[in-house]
Amino acid sequence: MMQKKFVKNLALILFLNLLVKPIWIFGIDLKVQNVVGPEEYGFYTAIFSFSYLFYILLDLGITNFNNRNIAQNAQLLRKHLAGIGTLKVLLGVFYAVIIILFGYLWGYRGRELYILMWVGFNQFLLSFILYLRSNISGLLLFKTDSFLSVLDRVLMIFIVGVLVWTTILGIRFSIEWFVYSQTLAYIITIAIAITAVLRKSGRLKFHWNPAFFIVIIRRSLPFALLALLMSFYNRIDPVLIKKLIPGDLGDYQAGVYAQAFRLLDAGQNFALLFSVLLLPIFSKMIKDGKSINNIVRLSSSILITGSLIIAITSSFFASDIMNLMYHPFENETAAQFSLRIQQSSIILSILMFSFVAISSNYIFGTLLTANKSMKSLNLIALMSLILNVVVNLLLIPSFMAVGSAWASLIAQSSSAIIQLWVVLKIFRMKADYLLVFKFLTLILLLAGLGYGIKNYFDLYWLNSMIMMLGAGLIISFGIRLFDIRGLISILKSDEM
């Protein structure tokens, strides 16, 4: 039974990521930003986001297409692996030329172009890792994929950790060392991932086959367009902040945005795990003509409930969280630090509600992808991109990074609502008003509880936050958003 496979492997992948990702986010990535400062990290964030805008040229939708295709036609693994592997290398060369050209036209020079080249190379390596993993998850080998999903971070924790937490190598840490560390971690991960894939495919010989390349590109183009549009409206915010706000203030505001975005990005990474599991499962169930209603409801109740609890709790303790994560930099006055924390706290509150919409998109967007409803998805993504850019252009000059956060929330929420409507229409599913009522109940009860804790209880903020998170879980179990009996019955099932 697919629900059993989903639940068991979701538990494994969540466990591994909960074990590794917090160490990376709070022990390494956060330390890097505190060491190099907001302007330097904002500089890196803007360039990273710029490189990500062209990420689709590395993939052309091949990874999503391949995941779905291998899930439905596992016998094609060996044939497609050799051809697509060669194609990915060619796309890497093309991507490198494009980002350097457009980076120069955008105004990047000197160090900016140097960092862009290295970051671009890392994007190529990451793209190849994700392609290799798409073969593994397409074969429904979720345990192997789960370990690969955290391997690069484990390696980076060790490498960057040595650089920022010790003086063994005797170097002055900079953004360049951060980028080099990623390169080494990705190369090691690729070597291990290739070994895992070759165990299933047998020996391969990479070859030049233009006809095969054209066929694959044609089949994956709808996926490519979707990925292009989504990468723009998901990652364009820091790029626009740096471009629309002149001078060093642009780098600074991009850095302030990055302070809050780090937590949204962490949440997105966990939500993405659902998508990685659901795409091959949805694809196989649709091919086999099985009902997807139960697994859609199960995944929605788990992911959206979790994101609501996190978003509401974060909004009450945003300032405390930012104060815990960041400290004053050299030559930064107390007033400047207070203003930076205040601004990033507002951004965090806004972005974490974007996380709820993003969670919904990862479920319903994945379902539409599995169903090959690419025209609908591309239209939704195009609309979201236009909306995001327009709102950014209107708000950034006046509200700076906070305006960009509002643009993200508006675009993501609009996309989530329309995707849900399209799913209900295409799959002729009835709206689950009981589930909606339960979500509203959770929101009202948790928001009321949060107000009471903040205003009437004299507790240390961290204790209050833990109490609120725990209360959110208790409420969710109480109103059966998290259905323990249902999960137990799924796990006891012998059907696979």
pLDDT of residue 3: 59
The residue-averaged pLDDT of 77-89 equals: 75
pLDDT of residue 76: 63
Residues in the chain: 496
pLDDT greater at residue 278 or residue 470 = 470
Nearest to 20 by CA among 184, 205, 148: 148
**For residue range 208-253, what is the model confidence (pLDDT) as tens digits?**
677 777 877 777 777 677 766 776 767 788 888 888 888 778 888 9
The residue-averaged pLDDT of 379-386 equals: 90
Contact 444, 471 (CB under 8 A): no
The residue-averaged pLDDT of 98-122 equals: 91
Nearest to 303 by CA among 254, 256, 365, 361: 361
Quick one: tokens of 295? 């697994």
C-alpha 410/C-alpha 354 separation (Å) is: 8
Confidence of residue 495 (pLDDT cuts 50, 70, 90): very low
DSSP class of residue 75 equals: G
Confidence of residue 298 (pLDDT cuts 50, 70, 90): confident
pLDDT at 490 over 80: no
pLDDT at 137 over 90: no
pLDDT at 361 over 50: yes
Which span out of 10-19, 101-110, 442-451 was modeled with the highest average pLDDT? 442-451
Helix, strand, coil percentages, rounded to 5, for the chain = 85, 0, 15
C-alpha 226/C-alpha 237 separation (Å) is: 18
pLDDT at 494 over 70: no
Mean model confidence pLDDT for the chain? 84
pLDDT greater at residue 17 or residue 448 = 448
pTM comes to 0.74
Contact 108, 47 (CB under 8 A): yes
- What percentage of the chain reaches a pLDDT higher than 70? 90
pLDDT at 127 over 80: yes
C-alpha 25/C-alpha 103 separation (Å) is: 28
C-alpha 355/C-alpha 441 separation (Å) is: 19
DSSP E strands: which ranges in 285-381?
A: none
Confidence of residue 78 (pLDDT cuts 50, 70, 90): low
pLDDT at 73 over 80: no
pLDDT greater at residue 132 or residue 65 = 132
pLDDT at 402 over 50: yes
pLDDT of residue 217: 75
The residue-averaged pLDDT of 140-167 equals: 86
pLDDT of residue 408: 92
pLDDT at 49 over 80: yes
pLDDT of residue 266: 82
